[in-house]
């Protein structure tokens, strides 16, 4: 059974809903899933997972959240095994998903195996929630 972490930052709940649906998708294929706020996990715990989904809104001028998520990402890039499978998810207000394009590229450059990503404008639609479930399944396969 795969052990999967869904680790996110959310203020108003848009990213949190995506996290829940990614978790649902992964669990539907039998994965052991932990859903955690980034404030609830230490970077070195990343090694207990076979795959992780990482989520953030676009904040602070079209970047991932800078107080908690940015330092977490900066540390796990040194701790995670090479080619660790990941999915990135998030929500934006006005950057049209540019923060996600930048984030995907950064994680690829750091030798993560980016299996997929989703960026939604504010609250996700029903269709986008279905895609989030599919991303969860991708990690669990």
Ligand X SMILES: Cc1cc2nc3c(=O)[nH]c(=O)nc-3n(C[C@H](O)[C@H](O)[C@H](O)COP(=O)(O)O)c2cc1C
Interface residues with ligand X (CB under 6 A) are: 10-16, 57-62, 91-95, 122
Strands 32-37 and 51-59: unpaired
How far apart, in whole angstroms, are the C-alpha atoms of residue 90 and residue 121? 9
- Cβ distance to ligand X smaller for residue 60 or 141: 60
Identify how many contiguous H helices and E strands the chain contains and give both numbers: 4, 6
- Cβ distance to ligand X smaller for residue 26 or 91: 91
Q: Which residues pair with 87 in a beta bridge?
A: 53, 116
| Nearest distance from C-beta of residue 57 to ligand X, angstroms | 3
- Cβ distance to ligand X smaller for residue 50 or 95: 95
| Nearest distance from C-beta of residue 68 to ligand X, angstroms | 12
**Would you say 72 and 105 are in contact if contact means Cβ atoms under 8 Å apart?**
no
| Nearest distance from C-beta of residue 61 to ligand X, angstroms | 5
């Amino acid at each position: 059974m795969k052990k999967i972490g869904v680790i996110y930052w959310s203020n108003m709940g848009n990213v949190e809903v995506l996290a829940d649906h990614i978790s649902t998708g992964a669990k539907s294929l039998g994965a052991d899933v932990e859903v955690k706020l980034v404030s609830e996990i230490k970077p070195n715990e990343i090694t207990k997972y076979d795959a992780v989904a990482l989520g953030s809104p676009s904040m602070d001028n079209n970047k991932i959240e800078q107080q908690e998520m940015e330092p977490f990402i900066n540390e796990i890039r040194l701790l995670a095994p090479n080619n660790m499978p990941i999915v990135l998810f998030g929500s934006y207000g006005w950057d049209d998903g540019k923060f996600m394009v930048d984030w995907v590229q950064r994680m690829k450059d750091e030798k993560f195996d980016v299996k997929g990503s989703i960026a939604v404008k504010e609250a996700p639609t029903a269709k986008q929630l279905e895609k989030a479930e599919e991303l969860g399944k991708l990690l669990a396969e």
